[in-house]
Amino acid sequence: MSQFYVTSTPEALGQHVSALLINKIQQQPNLVLGLATGSTMLPVYASFVRLATSLNLDLSQVTTFNLDEYIGLLPSHPQSYTYFMQHQLFNHLKSQPKQCLLPKSQAPDLQAECRNYSAALKNFGLDIQLLGIGTNGHIGFNEPLTSFASRTHIVELSNNTRQDNSRFFTNKDEMPTHAVSMGLADIMEAKEVLLLATGAHKAAIMAELYASQVTENLPASILKNHPQAKIIVDEQAASLIPAAGLIRL
Ligand code: F6R
């Protein structure tokens, strides 16, 4: 059963989560780390870079797997998730992870790429997976009604998600309609999961998640079946959750 934790600000959340990840890497230098993109991760990665630099952290045995990548954007496109990871995290680290993997959404045979990505995840075994959440409850790009048994797959983005993410695209026609995403079954196989949410625009979905049964209507609710899932939110995202349901960090 997942537990809800609250921090004062997104920056405090970033510090808490980055310290937790760095502590894990220090204990297990070959950690397999599942990463996410999006605004929620910005304070996490900024804090991770500061802390890793000040500790001279050795990441050379770490492997990272990202959750998802858009289809139709070159890795060099500023809105691709490959570009996001390079510019928000990897380019700023003195020590580079051994491997940084994202779904290769340019692959000529995308179905084969999806199978290979799930196979690699199984082979390595995710130690810890970071997740954000969409305002419709998606995790990765697993939109409402995605099967809980899903593996890495090609996803058609919902109108809600396209609307939310169009803020990053000056030319709305460039906003992709499809992505490759880890499936919900892949995510559930991580030994530990951290779902993060910040900002008032996430308050409604977090209250819904708090109260929800486990249902495919709300993909993030699957985490209630995970033995080691923590949900960490800032004050604003927690504002509609009863205080008694929150542990203050
Ligand atoms: C990103 C991802 C998405 C985002 C979610 C929240 O790799 O898989 O599920 O985590 O859409 O995005 P932000 O953080 O921008 O609100």
The string of pLDDT tens digits covering residues 110-165 is 999 999 999 999 999 999 999 999 999 999 999 999 999 999 999 999 998 898 88
What is the whole-number distance in angstroms between the Cα of residue 157 and the centre of ligand 1? 12
pLDDT band at 203 (very low <50, low <70, confident <90, very high): very high
Is 1's pLDDT higher than 70? no
CA distance 36 to 103: 12
Pick from 33, 40, 175 the residue to mutate for probing ligand 1's pocket: most ligand atoms within 8 Å of its CB: 40
Percent of the chain with pLDDT over 70: 100
Q: Is the pTM value of this prediction over 0.85? A: yes
| Average pLDDT score over residue span 80-99 | 98
Residues making up the chain, counted from first to last:
249
Mean pLDDT of 95-100: 98
Q: Exactly one of 16, 138, 153, 226 is catalytic; which is it?
A: 138
Cα(244) to ligand 1 centroid in Å equals 27
Separation CA 247–CA 167 (nearest Å): 32
153 is catalytic: no
**Residue 156 annotated to the active site:** no
Which of 40-49, 160-169, 206-215 has the least mean pLDDT? 160-169
Return the SS3 of 129.
strand
Give 227-245 pLDDT, tens digit per residue.
999 999 999 999 999 999 9
Is 23 labeled as catalytic in the residue annotation?
A: no
If phi > 0 it is left, if psi is from -120 to 50 it is alpha, else beta; for residue 38 that is left
Could you tell me the distance, in angstroms and rounded to a whole number, from the CA of residue 5 to the centre of ligand 1?
19
Question: 68 catalytic, yes or no?
Answer: yes
